[in-house]
Amino acid sequence: MRRYFGRKLLTYLMTFFVAATIDWLIPRFMPGDPVAQLVSRSNGISPEQAKALVDYYTRLFGLDKPLPVQYLNFWNSLIHGDLGLSVYGHGTPVTDMIMAAVPYTLALLIPAILLSWWAGNTFGAMAARRKWLDNTALPVGYVLTATPYMWLALVLSFVLAFSFRLFPLSGGYGFNLEPTFTWLFFTDLVAHWVLPFLSLFLVQFGGWAIGMRNMIIYELESDYSRYLEALGAPQGLIRKYAFRNAMLPQITGLALQLGVVVSGSLVTEIVFSYPGVGHLVFAAIQSNDYFLLQGIFMFIIIGVLLANFIVDIVYVVVDPRTRVAMRGGTA
């Protein structure tokens, strides 16, 4: 057991190291000096003012140091949870900006991932071997999972928000509100949350439903199912087993999907200008704020790694075979 997790942990650490280094390279390897871009955006100012600004920002971002030093500083400050300053935010700490955005993204991602996984699998299991469902409902699943996130998002926002005014068009909460602990704010928050959530949920849902449907059909054909049938066990029991066993690959799938969902949330947040991390990424790309990008990606890397690790643990818990294998020492 310890050996297994020890190994995993090591892999994760090395992965993190490599990923983080790649991440650090981003702003350094970008052509064009970010300060120049920042200054060139505040137009109408005199060359002298520009000069002053350039000096100011260069010092601010610590770009005046040699690369190796910058690299060491990067790790050092990373350990202290400092991701540097944002160009797009004119020197606001990147961590602050991310932290302000994270709640939205998590509020979007966690329910979208878990619910779609749960609902999709349940539905897929139902559809499996029920011809009418299989032929009626599943096609919908295929369409959904083949739909680009942003396209669905745009259609939803146009129809439900723009045309029928059922939901707000954009933003994280009403522009007429301030964050307070009141039902008003809370409900408004949810209202703004629904559409982005839905566009993430639906696409995912389709994928899981189909995946589960296929998996469970395999399980229903497996030897243990046939044996149970031969012994007259009711369908209930057989399905229960099949579902349970089909679930396992779906859990692995969950880990593999994370990256996809993150990118999905990115485009979705853009469509609804939902003030989450994805939206921040877009803003950063648009304004060439590589420090911000670097910070966000660092954040995503950690997030995905963490999630993967959790999935690993969960898997061990739910799949006896891995447990047994580990007791045998061979993971």
Partner 1 sequence: MHLGRYRVLALLAAASIVASACGSSSATSTVAPSTGTTTATATPAAAASATGLPATDTTVYPRAETLYTSGKQWGAPSTWNPFDGNSAMGVVGLQYETLFLYDPIKDAYTPWLASGGSWDSGKTTYTINVRQGVTWSDGSAMTAADVAFSINIYQNAALGSTLFTFVDKVVANGNDVVVTFKGTPAYQEWMQALYNMPIVPAAVWTPLNTADILKSLNMKGIGTGPYTYKTAAQDRMVWVKNPTWWATKALGLTVAPTYIVDIVNSSNNVALGQLLAGGLDLDNNYLPGIAQIVNGGYGVTTYFAAAPYMLGGNTAWLIPNTQKKPLDDAAFRRALAEAIDPNNVVVKDYGNIVAVADPTGLLPVWTKYIDAAQVKSLGATFNTAKAKADLAAAGYKLGSDGFVTNKDGSAIKLNLEVPDGWSDWMAAETLIATDAKAAGININPTHPDYGTVVNDRNGTSTAAPIFDLVINNDVQIGNTPWVYYDYIFRQPQIAAGAARNRNYEQYDNKDAWALVQKLDQTPVDDLATMKSICSQLQKIQLTNEPVIPLWYNGEWSQVNNSVWTNWPSDKGAQVQPATWNGYWQMGAIYMLTNIKPVKAS
Partner 2 sequence: MTAEFDPTMSPAAGDAEKAPTPKAKRARGEFLFFALRSKKFVVSVSILLFLILLAIFGPMIDTNDPLALGDLPMRQPTLDPGNWFGTTYFGEDVFAQFVNGLRASFFVGLLGGGLGALIGMMVGFVAGYRGGWIDEVLNMVTNVFLVIPTLAVLLVITSYLQARGVMFEAIFIGATSWPWAARAIRAQTFSLRSRDFIDLAKLSGRSGPKVIVFEIAPNMSSYLFLTYILLFGGAILIAASLDFIGLGPTGGMSLGLMMYNAVTWAALQLGVWWWFIPPGIGIIAAVGSLYVMNVGLDEIFNPKLRDI
Partner 3 sequence: MSLQVTDLMVYYRTLAGDVKALDGATFSIADKEIMGLAGESGCGKSTLGNSLIRLDGRMKYIGGKVNLDGAELPIWDNAGMNEFRFREVSVIPQYAMSAMNPTRKIGKMIAELVESRGTQFSEIKDELEKRIDHVGLTQDVVNRYPIELSGGMKQRMVMVISTLFDPSLLIADEITSALDVSTQRAVAETLVSFRDHGYVKSMMVITHDVSILYQIADSILIMYAGKLAEKASTKTIIDQPRHPYTQMLVSSLPEVGVRYADKKLTGIPGSPPSLLVPPTGCRFRARCPLAFAKCVEEPPFVEIEKDHSVACWKVTGPNA
Could you say which residues in the range 208-237 bind partner 3, by CB under 8 A? 222-224, 226-234, 236-237
Binding site for partner 2 (CB under 8 A): 11-12, 14-16, 18-19, 22-23, 25-26, 29-32, 135, 139, 142-143, 145-151, 154-155, 158, 162, 207-208, 210-212, 214-215, 217-218, 221, 248-250, 252-253, 256-257, 259-260, 262-264, 266-267, 270-271, 281-282, 285, 290, 293-294, 297, 300-301, 304-305, 308
The span from the CA of 178 to the CA of 7, in Å, is 48
The span from the CA of 204 to the CA of 37, in Å, is 38
CA distances from 156 to 164, 204, 302, 320 (A): 10, 16, 31, 43
Q: What track of x and - describes contact with partner 1 for positions 75 through 94 (by CB under 8 A)? A: -----------x-xxxxx--
Residue from 181, 230, 236, 329 that binds partner 1 (CB under 8 A)? 181
232 in the Ramachandran plot: left (φ > 0), alpha (ψ -120 to 50) or beta? left
Q: Does 161 bind partner 1 (CB under 8 A)?
A: yes
Judge whether 53 and 45 are in contact, CB under 8 Å: yes
CA distances from 195 to 110, 113, 134 (A): 15, 15, 27
79 binds, among partner 1, partner 2, partner 3, none (CB under 5 to 8 A by kind): none
Q: Does 329 bind partner 3 (CB under 8 A)?
A: no
Judge whether 94 and 291 are in contact, CB under 8 Å: yes
**Strands 85-86, 92-93: parallel, antiparallel or unpaired by DSSP?**
antiparallel
Longest dimension (CA), the chain: 89
Q: Does 121 bind partner 1 (CB under 8 A)?
A: no
Taking the least distance from each CB to partner 1, the nearer of 4 and 290 is 290
Taking the least distance from each CB to partner 3, the nearer of 144 and 246 is 246
> DSSP code of 158?
I
Taking the least distance from each CB to partner 3, the nearer of 179 and 236 is 236
Mapped onto helix, strand or coil, the DSSP state of residue 44 is coil
324 binds, among partner 3, partner 1, partner 2, none (CB under 5 to 8 A by kind): partner 3
Under the rule (CB under 8 A), what is the footprint of partner 3?
222-224, 226-234, 236-237, 241, 244-245, 248, 319-321, 324
